[in-house]
Amino acid sequence: MDAREKKSALRREILAQRNRLKPEEKEKMDRQILKRLLDWEPLWTGRPVFLYLSFGSEVNTWPLLEELFRRKIPVAAPRVAGREMDFYRIHGKEELRAGYKGIPEPSADCPKAETGESVILVPGAVFDRRGYRIGYGGGYYDRYLAVHKNVKTLAAAYPFQIVEEVIREEWDRPVERIFTAVEEIVSMEFL
């Protein structure tokens, strides 16, 4: 099995485990992860937060979105066009539409967000303690982060999504922090 096949197999295995979570188990871990995120002070400095909008069995980001709106923190969400993804400012959930694969995304009238000194919550299927990740296979975040190098990167994951080591490609960029239900992992790449 080559590296690409190993990554695909690990992605399938972890996503299957995530999809098997009982609703009450998922909700409990989502609350614990949200608490860790809400307790992370740099999130509340006023810098824009670029947030994926959770879908399916992903860690639920909707309560975080609501809290960001409540605290008047600038928020941007991703929108996909072809093979590219960019972030657009949103001020409320009413500005969202079903987009790529039915995932909610900003409507066409939302303005493109300036990256600047933003914080971006990056989704993923699998992570390691160095902050490297296996995404969902589309490469959208890899391409975005390759261009926008000045953003502070975070991830939210269930404990079983953390593995010893992720197979990396030369273009992979680690996330700086991973928030799970049981710990906050600071990437060894940033120590």
Q: What is the domain range of residue 115? A: 3-190
Is 141 within any annotated ligand binding site? yes
Q: What is the pTM of this model?
A: 0.94
Taken in order 60, 119, 157, 14, is the CA torsion positive or negative? positive
If one counts the domains in the chain, the total is 1
pLDDT (tens place) for every residue of the chain, 191 residues total: 788 899 999 999 999 999 999 999 999 999 999 999 999 999 999 999 999 999 999 999 999 999 999 999 999 999 999 999 999 999 999 999 999 889 999 999 999 999 888 999 999 999 999 999 999 989 999 999 999 988 999 999 999 999 999 998 888 899 999 999 999 999 977 76
132 is in an annotated binding site: no
- What's 26's domain CATH number? 3.40.50.10420
Contact (Cβ atoms closer than 8 angstroms) between residue 94 and residue 24: no
Confirm or deny that 99 is annotated as ligand binding: no
Phi, psi dihedrals of residue 16, rounded to the nearest 5°: -65, -40
